[in-house]
């Protein structure tokens, strides 16, 4: 199964370090980050889980729940959490799915039938409050994930869902955005009375005024 942007995130029930997770019910009306690992006690993944734990205030600020996944058993997860706290200085306060039967990994298309599953189960999904997939990323086992980038995309999604704008390359919350091409100049004058800078008719940069709600900058 291939997960496509815009489709409904598959629902599931699976055990976790915080009890059984019925995914759609657990997510509720929040945004969600589902990120996966090939196995416990791996060095790169240990640093990643620590990074996600340290970002707890940022996830909360964005009304976002995070959910880890590894294909090892629940007892291994509990021991791994102790290692993460010891080595990364952060307590894992979010659930980690015990996907030993690979039910969720298979449901989300993380495992290619011709590949070693320990290589392919390193994916990230951003899921919106309507349970739609908004981002997918798959990383190699040797490269630790940038959760700063995932936060950046989350900020962009939350902003562009509420305003008729898009965000340029390397954008950070608070910087100039692009007026959506679907917005005419006449409409733009009403939406953005502060004015904008037109580099091309299709590339109009605007600095949002204080009354436009933008995500908090970490």
Q: Which residues are catalytic?
A: 45
Helices (H) and strands (E) in the chain — how many of each? 8, 11
Task: Give how far Cα 5 sits from Cα of 60, 127, 146, Å.
Answer: 24, 10, 20
- Within 10 angstroms of residue 26's Cβ, the number of other Cβ atoms is 18
CA distance linking residue 165 with residue 157, whole number of Å:
10
CA distance linking residue 175 with residue 183, whole number of Å:
20
The DSSP letter of residue 72 is S
Cβ–Cβ under 8 Å, residues 135 and 123: no
């Amino acid at each position: 199964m291939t997960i496509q942007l815009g489709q409904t995130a598959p629902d599931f029930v699976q055990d976790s370090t915080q009890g059984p997770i019925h995914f759609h019910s657990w997510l509720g009306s929040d945004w969600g980050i589902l990120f996966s690992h090939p196995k416990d006690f791996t060095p790169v993944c240990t640093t990643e889980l620590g990074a996600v734990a340290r970002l707890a205030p940022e996830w909360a600020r964005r009304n976002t729940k995070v959910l880890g996944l590894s294909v090892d058993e629940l007892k291994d997860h509990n021991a791994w959490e102790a290692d993460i706290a010891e080595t990364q200085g952060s307590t894992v306060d979010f659930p980690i799915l015990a996907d030993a039967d690979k039910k969720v990994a298979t449901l989300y298309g993380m495992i290619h039938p011709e590949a070693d599953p320990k290589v392919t189960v390193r994916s990230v999904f951003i899921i919106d409050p309507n349970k739609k997939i908004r981002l997918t990323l798959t990383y190699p086992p040797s490269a630790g994930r940038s959760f700063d980038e995932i936060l950046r995309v989350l900020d962009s999604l939350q902003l562009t869902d509420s305003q008729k704008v898009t965000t340029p390359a390397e954008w950070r919350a608070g910087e100039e955005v692009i007026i959506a091409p679907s917005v005419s100049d006449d409409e733009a004058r009403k939406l953005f009375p502060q004015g904008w800078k037109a580099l091309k008719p299709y590339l109009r940069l605007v600095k949002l005024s204080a009354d436009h709600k933008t995500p908090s900058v970490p």
